[in-house]
Amino acid sequence: MVQNLLRSIFGGGTSAKRVAQIRIPRHSTGFGQFAQAALRPEGRRVLDLGPTSPSNIMYLTGRGHKAYNEDLLAAAHDPAILTPTKNEKGEVTKTIDVGLFLQDSLVYPLGMFDAVLLWDVCDYLPEALVKPVVEKIHQVTKEKGMLLGFFHLKTAGPEAPYYRYHICDQETLELQEGASLRLQRVFANRHIEKLFNEFSSIKFFLGKDNIREVLIVR
C-alpha cells in the first residue's frame, strides 16, 4: 500500500508534514477511460470535487476544458452546518443540517457539467450527506455525462488514510496524503449500484491500493 511505501522511503520517524508533501504515482485505468470518453472533444465543463489541485486545473484547461473545483469534504466537515438537537433523553447534540449544507454546496444550474471527478468523496462523507450529494450531482450533470468515483474495499480498514488526487497524465494520478479524515464506510458493489440507481450505467475496475475505480454515466 502507498502508506507502507512512504514509510519504507522515509522511515518510521517521518514527520506528518513531510509525508503530506510526498506524491506517489498511481496507474489508473478508470481515469484513462474517463479521459477518453468524457474529456473529448474540447470545451467540456468538468467539476472536480476534491481539494484544489493546480495539476488538475492545468491538465483540464490545457486540453481546452472549463475546470470547476469544489472541496466537498471540507464543506461537509464545516462546523457551521451543525445544529443543536435534543435526543430522547433530552441530551443536546449537534447534527448535520443537510439544508444548510446544500445552500452553499453544489449550487449550479441543472445539467451544467459534462464530467465530474468524484474521487473517493462518498467514502468519507458523513452518512446524512451521501444520498443528498449523489442526488445533487445527478441534477447538475448533463444526460450522458460521466462521473469517476473511487471506492475502498473492505481490506482497506477504517484507518485508511485520505489522499488527494492529482492528475499527472491520461493514465497516471499522483496521490498526496491529505486531511485527517476517517473512512466512514465501505460500499459493496450492490450498494454503489443502489446509490447511483438514477444513473444509466456503472462500470467497475479493480484498481490498486484497495480501491475500486467506477465509471458512472448519467
- Residue 12 lies inside a defined structural domain of this protein: no
pLDDT in tens, 110-139: 999 999 999 999 999 999 999 999 999 999
15 pLDDT more than 70: no
Tell me if the pTM is above 0.75: yes
- Residue 140 lies inside a defined structural domain of this protein: yes
Residue 32 phi/psi, 5-degree rounding, is -60, -45
4 pLDDT more than 60: no
- Residue 171 lies inside a defined structural domain of this protein: yes
- Residue 7 lies inside a defined structural domain of this protein: no
13 pLDDT more than 60: no
- Residue 9 lies inside a defined structural domain of this protein: no
Q: What is the pLDDT of residue 196?
A: 98
pLDDT in tens, 193-202: 999 999 999 9
- Residue 15 lies inside a defined structural domain of this protein: no
Give the cell for residue 47: 467539476
- Domain of residue 124 covers 20-217
- Tally of domains within the chain: 1
- Residue 8 lies inside a defined structural domain of this protein: no
- Residue 173 lies inside a defined structural domain of this protein: yes
Q: What would the DSSP string read from start to end of 101-148?
A: HHHHSS---TT-EEEEEEETHHHHS-HHHHHHHHHHHHHHEEEEEEEE
d(CA 125, CA 131): 10
Question: What integer is the mean pLDDT of 161-173?
Answer: 94
d(CA 161, CA 3): 8
pLDDT in tens, 56-97: 999 999 999 999 999 999 999 999 999 988 777 777 888 999
Supply the CATH number for residue 195's domain: 3.40.50.150
Yes or no: say if 115 and 46 are a contact pair by the CB < 8 Å rule.
yes
